[in-house]
């Protein structure tokens, strides 16, 4: 397995678990308003994020390319996949932020006629966009790697 694929799999697993945990914490017991008031929820979110980053950076360290240690684990095709997956991840992220903001606007103003919404949604948007970006990048890497298609850059 190439370094790129190994990292994408671990990244998907780590950030997938963190994202699910954060969404559950956020919506359990009242949603954005309750999230702002509940100190334990904030602490739990920080703990989840910290654990996620510890696992992530440990994974990056453990899967690094050691000079002279292993056979070549990254080549031009991997770099091509990496570039494309960053692009897909970026566009997925843009779409997600746009769609979530549009949904919140439509839901609160259009349906309920409310002009102000809880600032807790900002924290939700910040957290989920960060992890969704990383997850979509990992998924794109795995899909592109499985398809194996492309042209090397000369």
Partner 1 sequence: MAKAEIKNKVRRLRFENGEMTQQELADRSKCTRQTIIALEQGKYVPSLALAFRIARVFGVSIDDVFEYQD
The residues binding partner 1 (CB under 8 A) are 2, 71-78, 145, 147-154
Measured from the CB atom, the residue of 29 and 150 that comes closer to partner 1 is 150
Min dist. Cβ of residue 14 to partner 1 (A): 23
CA separation, residue 104 to residues 66, 112, 119, 124 (Å): 47, 11, 12, 12
**To which residue do tokens 């899967």 refer?**
63
Measured from the CB atom, the residue of 4 and 14 that comes closer to partner 1 is 4
Measured from the CB atom, the residue of 110 and 152 that comes closer to partner 1 is 152
First to last CA, the chain: 25
Tokens coding 116: 């102000």
Min dist. Cβ of residue 145 to partner 1 (A): 7
């Amino acid at each position: 397995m190439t370094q790129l694929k190994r990292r994408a799999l671990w990244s998907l697993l780590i950030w997938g678990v963190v994202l699910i945990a954060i969404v559950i914490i956020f919506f359990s017991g009242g949603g954005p308003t309750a999230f702002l008031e509940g100190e334990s929820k904030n602490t739990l979110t920080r703990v989840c994020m910290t654990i996620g980053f510890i696992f992530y950076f440990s994974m990056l360290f453990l899967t690094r390319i050691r000079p002279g240690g292993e056979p070549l684990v990254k080549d031009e095709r991997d770099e091509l996949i990496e570039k494309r997956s960053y692009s897909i991840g970026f566009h997925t992220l843009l779409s997600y932020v746009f769609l979530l903001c549009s949904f919140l606007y439509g839901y609160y103003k259009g349906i309920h006629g409310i002009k102000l919404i809880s600032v807790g949604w900002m924290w939700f948007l910040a957290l989920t966009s960060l992890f969704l970006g990383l997850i979509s990048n990992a998924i794109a890497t795995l899909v592109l790697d499985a398809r194996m298609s492309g042209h090397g850059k000369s």
